[in-house]
Chain A
Amino acid sequence: MTTTTSAPALPRFRTRAARPWGLHVALLLTAWFAVSALWPGLLAPGDPLELHLDSALAAPGPHHLLGTDEAGRDLYSRIVHGTAPALAIGFGASLVSLALALLLGGLAALAARPVASVVDRVVEVLFSFPSLLLALLLVALLGQSALTEAVAVGVGTAPGYARMIRGQILATKSSPYVEAAVTLGHSRTRILRQHVLPNAVRPLVAVFALSVGQSIVWASSLSFLGLGVAPPSSEWGALLDAGRLYLTHAWWLTIVPGLVIVVLALTATTLGKHLQASLERNDR
């Protein structure tokens, strides 16, 4: 949402708000998550699956930073080691989602009349299903696994993005520079390749960042319902699902992985919004 178009009194407020401390925090957290995913041993040297039955369900403290689970496994290590599978599902789901959205949105905006209006309707129909419901339908069809989870979440969130991409392409199509290119007599394919597609695809970088965060939240919701990746894994959703059993005795087993997911989602949202803003600034 851009508000910069009108409002003469805004400049002072803008420069103040532009101080990007949020971005700095987000970048730091991104670095943390990246290291956890690529080299978890650096941040958590211990084996995440090592059992310490004598210190089972220990509360967060000096020995175990974030406490332990029912088998005495260190929650901090498990969360660090669970970053890679969690991000893999988030990235996988986002790829599925945006690829599908690009296909549907592109067809709806660019294809010839009958095809476009049919695709339009299909998107409209899919959009009338809430994301989680569509994902659940797919889990019911395909059974439970990490792959299903990524595909289900991807398909579940695709209709919204498809509508956005369609709007974006249509807006570009009716923009003055495309009109100018038409007037200059450029061919349809050249205009598409040179003007329409780049402008429609570039914002997707920002959307992708937003989508990774959202996908991880959706995927963890599936896990929370017991329909995600099976518990022996340290994937965050699986940790949530396993921790639920001990909710009343060991709150940290659910609250902490949930908090990590919230922090990741906020990081992704902040990054996405800043990317979006800088892309828009470049457009002007």
Chain B
Amino acid sequence: MTLTSSTDPALDAGLTQAPPSRSAGRTARRVLARVAGAVVVLWGAATVAFLAQVALPGDRATIIFNTRAGQPIERTAEELAAVNAQYGLQHPVLVQYLDYLRGLLHGDLGRSYQQYRPVTQILGEQVGSTIVLTLTAIALAWVVMVVWVTLTAGRGPRTSGLGAALDTVTAALPHYWLGILLLLLFAQRLGWFPVISDGGPVGLVLPALTLAVPLAGFMGQATRTEFERALEQPFVVSARMRGQGDLGVRLRHVLRHSALPAVTLSGWALGATISGVVVVESVFTRRGIGSVLVTAVNSQDLPIVTGVVVLVAALYVVANLVVDLVHHLLDPRLKAS
């Protein structure tokens, strides 16, 4: 395994993990270190979010007014002072920073410039729809990937070649393009699904599929290599000699061995899928974090933008802790003996 050849950083993360621990004490220490690392990443994310808000060029109180009005208007000193007091901008930056961190600990992501409401409240209304879409998409990607790899990997040059080629092609599909294709074909032409996805499970199908197909291709690339390697292993031969059918061997033995890279990728995928979600929500006019974010970027409503950034970083960190745990469950070699 050479690190150069893996263009996917998430894979490296999984492959450069610490060697298996030898005692329960070590495992505990490792878990603690992971949690500490996660806290540091979260703190860093919060700091980046804060710096971004400060870095917006110009006087912030004026910016807040202009964002609300949608155009630059001269404001009186009293008006500015009122906004400064409301957002705590009269304090030195360091105090503002500490206030921001303290707020985060209480689940306060700041106040929207444009909507006069707390960001937590705005995102809270939308986050459910986004999480449902993301998790459905990842689950769907797993199903598609497992079926496709099990059917095509290690079946002679032609079939595996086709399988691998399709992995590469689907992994490269931009979400907006695939989404529009599915939308035009299945919603507009055939009318099987609603054009505007809202609420119900039927409306979830096309957006989830749009996210799942490229992700399946991406995970498939990693899994296929491992799958074909595992097919050559002695334990596969011995399972076959015991009379187990081909499909049984593939599902029971080979898959378990080759699923690890994809499990590692899933944690990263949660974050990456959020990128896709922003686009997909726009294609299918679906409510969620993504549409709020795009509107906020357009109007430079930074507290919402940074709020999403912190929220997603938190999701990413939690997802990766979970992935670590699943890793241990799947691979007994990592368990303390």
Contacts and interface: CB of A to CB of B under 8 A. Distances in A.
Interface of A: 1-3, 5-9, 13, 16-17, 22, 121-122, 124-134, 136-137, 139-141, 143, 159-161, 163-164, 167-168, 171, 203, 207, 210, 213, 217, 220-221, 224-227, 240, 247-248, 251, 254-255, 258-259, 261-262, 265-266, 269, 272, 276, 279-280
Interface string B41-84: 10011011000100110000000000000000000000000000
A128 B293 CA distance: 17
Contacts, number: 183
Most chain B beta carbons < 10 A, residue from A5, A129, A171, A259 = A129
A281 to B, nearest CB: 12
A159 B157 CA distance: 36
A269 B172 contact: yes
B173 interface: yes
B157 to A, nearest CB: 5
Contact of A141 (B56, B275, B298): B56
A3 B9 contact: no
Contacts of B298: 226-227
B157 A129 contact: no
Contacts of A8: 232
Given A128-B312, A221-B275, 14 more contacts: A7-B232, A13-B157, A125-B48, A127-B9, A132-B274, A133-B308, A141-B55, A141-B56, A160-B10, A210-B7, A225-B279, A240-B176, A259-B177, A266-B172
A168 B37 CA distance: 22
Contacts of B37: 124
Contact of A136 (B47, B184, B222, B305): B305
Binding site secondary structure of chain A:
helix
29 contacts: A1-B1, A1-B225, A2-B1, A5-B1, A6-B232, A7-B228, A124-B37, A126-B48, A129-B48, A129-B312, A132-B275, A132-B278, A133-B275, A136-B278, A141-B55, A143-B300, A164-B6, A168-B3, A220-B176, A225-B294, A226-B294, A227-B297, A247-B180, A248-B188, A262-B173, A262-B174, A266-B169, A269-B168, A272-B7
Contacts of B13: 163
A164 B52 contact: no
B174 A221 contact: yes
A161 B3 contact: no
Interface in B208-261: 221-222, 225, 228-229, 232
Given A130-B271, A140-B300, A262 B177 contact: yes
Contacts of A130: 271-272, 274-275, 312, 316
B302 A140 contact: yes
Contacts of B108: none
A210 B56 CA distance: 32
A1 B4 CA distance: 8
Contact of A224 (B12, B225, B282): B282
A144 B9 CA distance: 29
B161 interface: yes
Contact of B41 (A128, A227, A240, A279): A128
A105 to B, nearest CB: 10
